Amino acid sequence: MARTMEPLAKKIFQGVLVAELMGIFGAYFLLNKMNTSQVFRQTMNKKFPFILEVYYKSIEQSGMYGIREQDQEKWLNSKN
């Protein structure tokens, strides 16, 4: 009975590993895109503001200040 569970356990482990790797690469892509594109941050602000808030808090925690203010200023100026 234990021998038949080994291939199943191995497949489950591989599936979990692949899902985790996809999550890591997805998070890296998202962070990289938000770091380099103010237009993308504006899109995120419209569709997923909670994710943008986490981004702002994380970069402020790392010591980079002013990005939130620059974004808000540009977005306000573009509306007028």
Range of the domain at 60: 38-79
Q: Is residue 56 a part of any domain in this protein? A: yes
Residue 69 has pLDDT above 90, yes or no: yes
Q: Is residue 23 a part of any domain in this protein? A: no
Reported as a single tens digit per residue, the pLDDT across 31-65 is: 999 999 999 999 999 999 999 999 999 999 999 99
- What six digits make up the tokens of 1? 């009975």
Beta carbons within 10 angstroms of residue 54's beta carbon: 11
Q: Is residue 33 a part of any domain in this protein? A: no
